[in-house]
Structure 1
Amino acid sequence: MAGLHQNRSGEMEVFVRVVELGGFSPAARAEKMTPSAVSKLISRLETRLGARLLNRSTRQLLLTPEGCAFYERATRILADIEDAERAAGAGEQAMGRVRINTSASYFNHILAPVLPDFLALHPGVTLDITQTDAVVDLLAERTDVAIRAGPLKSSSLIARKLGETALTIVAAPAYLERCGEPRSVAELDAHTRLSFGYVRAIDGWPLLEDAKTIVVPATGRVQASDGEGLRRLALAGVGLARLTSFTVRDDIAAGRLLPVLEHLNPGDTEAFHAIYVGQGGPLPSRVRVVLDFLTQHARVN
């Protein structure tokens, strides 16, 4: 049994090398193997798992969805093995500074409330948190972990999913009393639609019309750089805003904001991920404990 597990961890390590170094040849050099041996090992692994992990072409290797999932789990397992060996040998606990980049909405409503628990669990870790909705270059900004919303672009970055949340159009009671409540897409033309000040994956509000989903431009006189800013504007009665459910859940429950056009909500969701840079090996324990805590205690819904 021990030999079987050792072989599996070895397969994982070679597979991770292939993904992070971008091919069989560089992985073979790193692992002191031949490219043919690496190729055969990956083929055996795929056969044992019953799933294709890599799509091969003459120019590049691309991860399949199954390969992405296996890569994420494999890097986590290898990191756990290294941390376990290090801890057994030196009694090490996670130590050092972790730089986190996140949106103000996620920080205020999801992360901040659970930070005391993290700090109690890991007294050797220091957190440096920056709040922005802008997409940052993790290497240039020396960021260890970034929390991002929306679809992920193909890149060398690795992601752990933190969940999905619905979106809702909301307005303050004072705004609806002053301007009336829209009942149809056409009636939105007479209303102030608060929008983000940057281009998003879907630059508008998806709504149902005649059983089809259309995207209504969210162009108004007021824009904000982040979701928390839009929430504040909506609370002040400036206009309508379409925001993630966790951002406005408490406001709706307290009557500070009211859902609008729910009968036209197509039910789309926005995914959140914790993004980090693959290091070519196991993650530092200080980063791993942050990622593990986020995926267990700071999920969105």
Structure 2
Amino acid sequence: MKRYLAIAALSLLLSVAIPLVYGGSDVLPQLIRVSPWLIIGTLGMILLGWCFNAARLRLLLGGVAHAIPRRRALATVIATEFAGVASPAGVGGPLTYVYLLHRQGLSTARAASLYAIDQITDLTFFATALPLALAVFTFDQRLEHPLLLATLLLVLLGTGLGLLWGLMRRYRGMLRLFGRILRPLRVSERRRRKMARWIIQFRHGIALLLSMPRHRLILLYGFCMGHWLMRYSVLPVILLGLGHAVPWSYLFIIQGMLLFAGQLSFLPGGTGSVEVGFAALLAPWLAPEPLALALVLWRFTTFYWYLLAGAPVFLTSAGGATRRLLLARNKP
């Protein structure tokens, strides 16, 4: 536990120190002049994203004939988000998700299958949204026209649903390809067992998806899309509030890259790699002082707020399993 606390302290120290290195001591006075409505608005966007995820969770549980109250679903989502950013490489997130659903009466295997569905829809969204954002940034950086924005959202929804449906129907080919990739690699027995368990959960998740009516699938992907669009719109809103216009498509792409880099970091919340990547990718658009200010506001909304708002919810929901879930030593 002492080691975990030391890592957490190092993570928080780095997340504060790096913006000060880029922006200098002027960052703190500038924070005081930031409009409170900008902070309230971005926090509201995070809350709305959590509500979308809670609705997705209730929809999934309804598909397996297991009802859960709205407040409990929201608490499960917030606690899972907290565990994800508070644990190294986010390993506490899936454990918390499975553990809390198990406490609601689901078997561990069924809860893991629901988490697999959650991940499948997320991956489908990014597989659709990132190429679309890259195309928009390459050919047309202007998204001001409401009709263009609505068209892009419909394209994102339709393409994502089509990709999800194709994945459900052709998942055996995907698993065979995964096996061919791993065969020549020297993978330890422990990792092979973990991968085999993930594949089983993936197959169970696909089976559950196939059993869902089409209108539920559309709602499921719609809630997934709503969550990520809210979360990934926080940075553009912050920059607009500070008086800096950076193409939304470019910001979407770099946030996807930073999310991936954060998963590779051993520090909670991807601290270090996220801040350095943020500064490197936005340096062509912003001077050091506004870049550091935007970084502080963005990390507060998408990292500190997850810790501050999520900690009491996590402690209340997880109870005595708090230490085990954050350290990820055992399966729930």
Q: Give the structure-1-normalised TM-score.
A: 0.24
- Which structure has the greater CA radius of gyration? 1
Q: Give the structure-2-normalised TM-score.
A: 0.22
